[in-house]
Amino acid sequence: MDLRKLREKVITIATNAMEGHIPSALSVLDILWVLYDRVLKVDPSKPQLPDRDRFVLSKGHAAIGLYVILAQKGFFPMSVLDTFGKYDSILGGHPDKNKIPGVEASTGSLAHGFPMSVGMALGLKIRRSPSRVFVIVGDGEANEGPTWESALLASHHQLTNLCCIVDYNHSTDRALQVGDLAKKYESFGWETCSINGHDHNEIFGALQRTGSGKPYAIVADTIKGFGCTDMENSPEWHHKYPKPEELPALLESLR
């Protein structure tokens, strides 16, 4: 299944469930695609291997994006995606680590996954594990205090095994300007780079790097709703599901 098909799946399952944050999922989908396809050392048939890399979706509301990637990689069957939002489903609007194979942390309330990933990285460092920890945070999450507490902790403990990817889709601009996030992370003692969060070569190049003696932040410039022309940068779609009659036109507008 290619990325366009996965975008179609994101929109379709949200429409059927009448739930989900579609634009946030599309915002991170390219990053997740490259991460799971070419970077993360994980085995979908053995999702609990001790020396696996860890991925944490700290902005848990982008969950459907993660679900379609996990299904695509074989952590669970594609058919499970169609249960999204149902009473007995393992898949809800935010990911649950105790239900979903491959999910490392249950997130939803912002700025919990990031400090948890700092703890994972610290624990793996103490154990001298070769594993890396990747976490995606949103720019809205940069409003939260524990985001910066986490940034302080990671640099103080020199967690070179930690990579924080900031999905900078400017969703918080209407509320609180967070400014130059790369400079902010640098001032907190991180090594940083800035990329186009939809360019797969840039994403792959950035994900391969690690900080020299520092944790490493990738500030990914992204577009909320990327790939669905009607939704791109449209705040009204943040937490809105399409009506069934709107679905064909939306799918038609997919890139």
Q: Which is nearer to other proteins, 50 or 77 (CB)?
A: 50
* Per-residue binder mask for other proteins (CB under 8 A), 99-118, x = binder: -----xxx-xx-xx-xxxxx
Q: How far apart are CA 174 and CA 136, in angstroms?
A: 21
Position 85 contacts other proteins (CB under 8 A): no
| Token pair belonging to 22 | 């579609």
The answer to whether 149 contacts other proteins (rule: CB under 8 A) is yes
Considering the rule CB under 8 A, would residue 53 count as an interface residue with other proteins? no
Ranges within 12-51 binding other proteins (CB under 8 A): 50
User: Does 93 participate in binding other proteins (rule CB under 8 A)?
Assistant: no
SS3 93: coil
Rounded Cα–Cα distance for residues 169 and 254 (Å)? 19
Taking the least distance from each CB to other proteins, the nearer of 3 and 121 is 121
When the beta carbons of 117 and 171 are compared against other proteins, the nearer one is 117
Residue 67's contacts (CB-CB under 8 Å, 6 or more residues apart) are 13, 81, 84, 91, 95, 100
Instruction: Report the C-alpha gap between 124 and 122 in whole angstroms.
Output: 6
Residue that the structure tokens 């001298």 belong to: 128
Q: How far apart are CA 105 and CA 118, in angstroms?
A: 12
**Which residues of this chain interact with other proteins, rule CB under 8 A?**
50, 54, 97-98, 104-106, 108-109, 111-112, 114-124, 126-127, 145-146, 149-150, 152-153, 156
